[in-house]
Amino acid sequence: MPLAPVLTSVLRVLKNVLSFKDFSNYLTKFLNSNNNLNLFFDEQWNLKSSVISFGHDIETAWLLIEAAKVIEDEKLITETERVAILIVDGFMENGVDIDGGVMNDWSLKHLGSKWTTLYDVKGEGEFSIESAWYPPKEFFIHLYNLCVKLDENVEIEVTYEDETYSPIGAIVIKKDRDGTPCMWSEEDNDIVNPLDDMDWDDENYEATSQEFYESLYDNQQAYLKQCHELVITDGEPI
């Protein structure tokens, strides 16, 4: 849930103990220099990502004012109205597409997914990320373009699965036979999860679970192999 609605609900309970300074800290902590929301923080409130969500920005513009009104501080209301206008101005300038619709995200355009966040680094050039809607193919292209400056023979391998395990897939980025950096992907959208029709305490649940997850891994490795073979001859230049 976005932070602003939660904050508004909390303020209704705590309005007698909060001050203009308390709420001003919100305005400075969660807005960047371009008046977009900072979205992802760690447990110590250190910023983890620069992902922009224009939908959350425009929602926050009016929710901030609503939250300020709960405190019943005219100075705070005036300040949040000023900030809300800045947010809306930025939204209108950068968050509206040429057809008049709202751009889902800067991330969708530049990384290939609604949002992308790193959650595990395994070493030896291997890491895990989470993304929304799609695999962040544009991110992998950016990563390749950085890494190839360090190693001209670098290759990017990706395996992925949706939270429902449909689709699963693989992506490979490397040079084709002519030395042109290319990408190839393989995907399966017809995965059937047998666990959906089982309860965790069913007699065969554990064995079925192990067999299912092993088959997912095997399929992803097979897709990787196909990607490595086809990117050389039929890859899409990046």
- Say yes or no to pLDDT of 14 above 60: no
CA atoms within 13 A on the CB side of 222: 9
Burial group, residue 204, by CB count within 10 angstroms (0-12, 13-18, 19+): exposed
Task: Determine the pLDDT at residue 193.
Answer: 93
Q: 53-111: per-residue pLDDT in tens?
A: 888 888 888 888 887 787 777 888 888 888 889 989 988 888 776 666 666 656 777 88
Task: Determine the pLDDT at residue 106.
Answer: 67
Task: Determine the pLDDT at residue 195.
Answer: 92
User: Cα-flanking dihedrals φ and ψ of residue 174, to 5°?
Assistant: -165, 180
Radius of gyration, alpha carbons of the chain: 23
Q: 164-217: per-residue pLDDT in tens?
A: 998 999 999 999 999 999 999 999 999 999 999 999 899 999 999 999 999 999
The DSSP secondary-structure symbol of 102 reads B
- 3-class SS letters over 157-195: EEEEECCCCCCEEEEEEEECCCCCEEEEEEEECCCCCHH
Q: 129-176: per-residue pLDDT in tens?
A: 988 888 999 999 999 999 999 999 999 999 999 999 989 999 999 999
Over the chain, what is the mean pLDDT?
84
Distance of CA 212 to the CA centre of its chain: 27
Rounded CA separation 195/58 (Å) = 40
0.75 exceeded by pTM: no
Pairing relation of β-strands 126-131 and 156-161? unpaired
The DSSP secondary-structure symbol of 149 reads T
Domain boundaries, the chain: 3-105, 156-237
